[in-house]
Amino acid sequence: MPVTYPKPIVVPPPEGGATTAVCIFLHGLGDTGHGWADVASSMPFEGVKWVFPTAPTIPVTLNGGMRMTGWYDINDLSIDNIKDDRDQTLASTEYIQGLIKAEVDSGVDASRIVIGGFSQGGVIALQTALRSKERLAGAVGMSTYLALRDDFPDAMSPNAKDLPVFLAHGTADQVLQYQYGVASHEHMTEKLGMTAVSFQTYQGMGHSACQEELQQLANFIANVLESTVV
């Protein structure tokens, strides 16, 4: 049975201005778009609309088959035992590609769209960015990893080679260990030859976000969109 993606939360540009850029940000396992929507008010960039999609509700093997919001099924958290859920990962990637297309069709240039996410959301954001036929402004992956690695570089769009990417991970992450972030950064830069991938480390941070990280995220978005906070 096909999964259903709830309607995203949309936060228009501050003070009702025209939309000149879009940030699409994806939540982690068990969360919803509401869980990250406050980011929009903390980063009120002129002309920037925020879109916070919500994942479908699916059975999750890691949690004994319990149904919860998830961009894909996950069986294990260890690097050695985790298995990629190819079908649902690609289905969610296709869904996000559709959201990007809708923004482009509405008149926003793809080069003014940032795609990002936390944990599972970051997985889908990176998949979307690396496969995108459109040249995006940038990609963000927080406390996450690059899945379906064997697909790349064959599945990688030429646009991804110099795509600005902001990766961030805490050293005390007990859900997706810090090594996930380190290995993903190394793979993207050394194996895939991506030239604009930065990796930020946050000492003592768990599977969460901190103020310093959010400030650096704001700086990254401002730089790739050449935008200013209002």
Q: What's the token pair of residue 191?
A: 């194996």
Q: What are phi and psi of 84, to 5 degrees?
A: -70, 135
Q: What's the token pair of residue 153?
A: 């570089």
Instruction: State whether residue 220 is helix, strand or coil.
Output: helix
E strand or H helix at 35: none
> Which candidate, 99, 93, 178, places its Cα nearest to that of 130?
93
CB 157 within 8 A of CB 133: yes
Tell the burial category of 10 from Cβ atoms under 10 Å away from its Cβ (0-12, 13-18, 19+).
Answer: middle
CB 119 within 8 A of CB 125: no
Q: 57 forms bridges with which residues in the sheet?
A: 69
Please provide the DSSP assignment of 88-141 as one string.
HHHHHHHHHHHHHHHHHHTT--GGGEEEEEETHHHHHHHHHHHH-SS--SEEEE
Residues 6+ apart with CB under 8 A from 205: 170, 171, 172, 173, 213
**Catalytic site positions:** 119, 173, 207
E strand or H helix at 155: none
